[in-house]
Chain A
Amino acid sequence: MQNKLYPIILFIFLSFCFIIFYKGLSNSNIYTPKIDDKKNIPIFKAKDFDSNIDITSEKVFEESSYYIVNIWASWCVPCRKEHSLLMELSKNQSIKLIGFNYRDNLKNAKKFINELGNPYSQILIDSDGILSVEFGAYGIPETFLIDKNKKIVEKFVGPINQEIVKKIRLIIK
């Protein structure tokens, strides 16, 4: 009886391992941090892009409206690609766009904005990337949607597209 039981247990164990590894093969091996709960926006202080004056997060997000935080840089090619969509979003009155200029040369960043237009109501300088880490970003471009209660409700890694714009419009309706 025991002699029969061992192969059965072994077979079940090996099948279990096979299923786990087989399932694992179909999963993406690139990890993307998810937002499980709505997180409050972090408290921070940063320099304003135009005036170079220190500004606090309370001041940046003082209005009771939806905000989009977009992390960009002049050296980032996908940022160039998504810029027209940000310009389109900026026409919407019920949303404010805040840009974080990530690890960039200020001169190049200004040239980028002059060339492609400025969709942001305010741009903050994130010269060492710490501000972006506070928001839980790890690459650029990254876009966060913040609701009226100052909570991060959506996070989009990579350049935004028409589908994401539609999703944002649906949320802020």
Chain B
Amino acid sequence: MKTLKIFLIIFLFIGFSQLKSDEKNDDFKNKILKNIRCLICQGQSVYDSESDFASSIKLIVDLKINEESSEDQIYEFLREKYGDWIIYEPELNKNTYILWFLPLLLFLFGGVIIFRKLNIQK
């Protein structure tokens, strides 16, 4: 009876570990799908879309995850096929320097203006 209990505990433990790992995989997959733009319904991510294109991309992401491709490798594969626009978060390259650095420059510029104003008031 005791052995049976031990087996049952081990069996349940393995079962729950499996569930936990599936959940982790799903989170990873969903994170990627939410960052891919659906090209049919262009306001939606592939995660939200039910279009044929989105279903195919979901299948491909599944396959790539099973092949143990990294997140960046999956994005690179899609970028090669459809261009940078398919990924919501653009990577840093010569076409996106302004996009990435303009807010920072404006922030610094604003900071300088505030600093100078405060100094003048003093």
Contacts and interface: CB of A to CB of B under 8 A. Distances in A.
Interface residues of A, number: 18
B60 A33 contact: no
A138 B55 contact: no
Chain B interface, >50% SS class: helix
A139 interface: yes
Contact of B57 (A29, A133, A136): A133
B81 A132 contact: no
A129 B53 CA distance: 7
B73 to A, nearest CB: 15
Contacts of A33: 39, 81-83, 85-86
Contacts of A102: 52
Nearest to B37: A31
- Report, as a range, how many residues of chain B touch the other chain: 10 to 19
Interface of B: 39-40, 42, 52-53, 55-57, 59-60, 63, 80-83, 85-86
B40 A139 contact: yes
Contact of B56 (A29, A31, A128): A128
B59 A138 contact: no
A132 B59 CA distance: 13
A39 B83 CA distance: 13
A138 B40 contact: yes
Nearest to A132: B56
Nearest to B81: A136
A136 B81 CA distance: 5
Nearest to B113: A6
A31 B42 contact: yes
Nearest to B84: A33
